[in-house]
Amino acid sequence: MIVLSKQNFICRVSQYVVLMFVFIFQISSGFCGTGNNRIVNNKIITDAQVGPVYTFRHIPLSMFFTKRTIIVNVNNLGTEPLVNLTVTLNITGAANFSDVKTVSSLAPGSSTFVEFAEFATYTMGINTIVVTLPDDDDNSNNQLTYIQNVNPGLVSFAEEAPPSGSYGYNSDMGGFMYSYFSTGISIYINAIRIHISDDVNSIGKTVRAILGSPFGTMQVLWQSAPLTITADHLGKYFQFNIDPPYFNTQSAAIRAGLLQPIASQAYFPISYQDEIPKRPGDFSNVYRYLGGNNFGGMPFTLQSRFMIQLLMNNYVLPVNLVEFKAVNKDLVNELNWVSTQEINFDKFIIERSMNGYDYTIIGEQEGKGTSASQQRYNFIDSRPGDGVNYYKLKMQDLDGNCKYSEVKKVIVKSGIRFTISPNPASDMLHVKYYSNHTGNVKFTITDLSGRKILSSTKYLQRSADKIDIPIADLSKGIYILQMNDDASIIAQGKFIKM
In a domain, 2, yes or no: no
Average pLDDT over residues 49-69: 82
Average pLDDT over residues 429-446: 77
Last residue in a domain, options 400, 429, 462: 400
Judgement on whether residues 182 and 281 belong to the same structural domain of the protein: yes
Judgement on whether residues 258 and 342 belong to the same structural domain of the protein: no
Q: If pLDDT is split at 50, 70 and 90, which confidence band does 282 have?
A: low
pLDDT of residue 139: 94
Judgement on whether residues 148 and 165 belong to the same structural domain of the protein: no
In a domain, 407, yes or no: no
Those residues with Cβ within 8 angstroms of residue 257's Cβ, 6 or more apart along the chain or in another chain: 176, 177, 178, 179, 192, 194, 209, 210, 212, 270, 306, 308
Last residue in a domain, options 122, 152, 182: 152
The CA angle 41-42-48, to the nearest 5 degrees, is: 110
* CATH number assigned to the domain comprising residue 216: 2.60.120
Q: If pLDDT is split at 50, 70 and 90, which confidence band does 327 have?
A: very high
Q: If pLDDT is split at 50, 70 and 90, which confidence band does 92 have?
A: very high
Tens of pLDDT, residue by residue over 22-53, are 333 443 444 343 333 445 556 568 999 998 99
pLDDT of residue 371: 80
Average pLDDT over residues 387-408: 84
Q: Note down the domain range covering 387.
A: 319-400
Q: What is the pTM of this model?
A: 0.60
d(CA 92, CA 126): 8
The pLDDT mean for the chain works out to: 82
pLDDT of residue 399: 67
d(CA 63, CA 60): 8
Q: If pLDDT is split at 50, 70 and 90, which confidence band does 63 have?
A: low
Q: If pLDDT is split at 50, 70 and 90, which confidence band does 353 have?
A: very high
Tens of pLDDT, residue by residue over 361-372, are 999 999 988 787
Judgement on whether residues 27 and 54 belong to the same structural domain of the protein: no
Judgement on whether residues 106 and 176 belong to the same structural domain of the protein: no
In a domain, 233, yes or no: yes
Is the pLDDT at 10 greater than 70, yes or no? Answer: no
Judgement on whether residues 97 and 49 belong to the same structural domain of the protein: yes
Task: State what percent of residues in the chain have pLDDT above 70.
Answer: 83
The CA angle 298-303-306, to the nearest 5 degrees, is: 85
d(CA 212, CA 222): 7
DSSP letters of 51-70? EEEES-SEEE-TTT------
Is the pLDDT at 13 greater than 60, yes or no? Answer: no
In a domain, 203, yes or no: yes
Judgement on whether residues 173 and 307 belong to the same structural domain of the protein: yes
> Which of 311, 309, 318, 316 has its CA nearest to residue 375?
318
Q: How many CB atoms lie within 10 A of CB 225?
A: 9
pLDDT of residue 298: 64
In a domain, 96, yes or no: yes
Judgement on whether residues 282 and 353 belong to the same structural domain of the protein: no
Average pLDDT over residues 283-287: 82
Judgement on whether residues 239 and 388 belong to the same structural domain of the protein: no
Count how many domains the chain has.
Answer: 5
d(CA 403, CA 193): 13
Judgement on whether residues 182 and 260 belong to the same structural domain of the protein: yes
In a domain, 271, yes or no: yes
Measured in degrees and rounded to the nearest 5, phi and psi for residue 9 equal -65, -45
pLDDT of residue 461: 64
Q: If pLDDT is split at 50, 70 and 90, which confidence band does 321 have?
A: confident
* CATH number assigned to the domain comprising residue 115: 2.60.40.10
Last residue in a domain, options 367, 400, 433: 400
pLDDT of residue 199: 95
Q: Which helix (H) or strand (E) holds 285?
A: strand 284-291
Those residues with Cβ within 8 angstroms of residue 57's Cβ, 6 or more apart along the chain or in another chain: 148, 149, 156, 157, 158, 159, 160
In a domain, 409, yes or no: no
Q: How many CB atoms lie within 10 A of CB 181?
A: 26
Q: If pLDDT is split at 50, 70 and 90, which confidence band does 142 have?
A: very high
Judgement on whether residues 59 and 83 belong to the same structural domain of the protein: yes
Q: If pLDDT is split at 50, 70 and 90, which confidence band does 437 have?
A: low
Is the pLDDT at 1 greater than 50, yes or no? Answer: no
Judgement on whether residues 280 and 350 belong to the same structural domain of the protein: no
* CATH number assigned to the domain comprising residue 488: 2.60.40.3080
In a domain, 1, yes or no: no
